[in-house]
Amino acid sequence: MQNEPNILDPLAVAETWHEQGRAVALATVIETWGSAPRPVGSHLVIDGEGNFQGSVSGGCVEGAVIAEAADVITSGTPRLLEFGVADETAWRVGLSCGGRIRVYVERIDG
């Protein structure tokens, strides 16, 4: 069972997925305003197929982050995303708690 990472530990999952030859992106909450559901430093890990573990919100914006992660995996260029009520797209994907968050998405290279 040593090869099975704790699925609640996104950083362990990221390493295991990479070892398995999967392309991996790591998303990190770097800033929050208002009532953000997940604290700064929280991680979401995404593979090239759109599988994911962890969270950057209460399930509100994960879909959008996963879509952006696919581009980051392809290009290798990190992205800085912002979600919040001020942003119509973000409202649509649903950070309905009224908070705003910034999420940094990067590829695991090596």
Partner 1 sequence: MELSTLQALNVARASRRAAVVVTDLSEGTSQAFIEGDRIRAEWAAPVSEVLHSGRPRLLTIEERALFFNVHLPPPRIVAIGAVHISQALSRLAPVAGFDMAVIDPRTAFATAERFHGVELLADWPEDVLPDRPLDRYTALAALTHDPKIDDYPLRAALEAGCFYVGALGSRKTHAARSERLQTQGVATEAVARIKAPIGLDIGAASPAEIAVAVLAEIIGALRRRDVDLPAEGGK
- How far apart (Å, rounded) are the C-alpha atoms in residues 28 and 50? 16
x/- map, 74-93, partner 1, by CB under 8 A: ---xx-x-------------
Closest CB to partner 1 among 17 and 61?
17
Query: Angle at CA 27, nearest 5°, toward 110 and 45?
Result: 70
31 binds partner 1 (CB under 8 A): yes
Examine residue 21 and tell whether it contacts partner 1 (CB under 8 A): no
Is there a contact between 92 and 85 (Cβ–Cβ < 8 Å)?
A: no
- 97 binding partner 1? (CB under 8 A): no
Question: Which has the closest alpha carbon to 109: 76, 78, 79?
Answer: 76
Can you give the binding site for partner 1, defined by CB under 8 A? 11-12, 14-15, 18, 26, 28, 30-31, 39-41, 77-78, 80, 104, 106-110
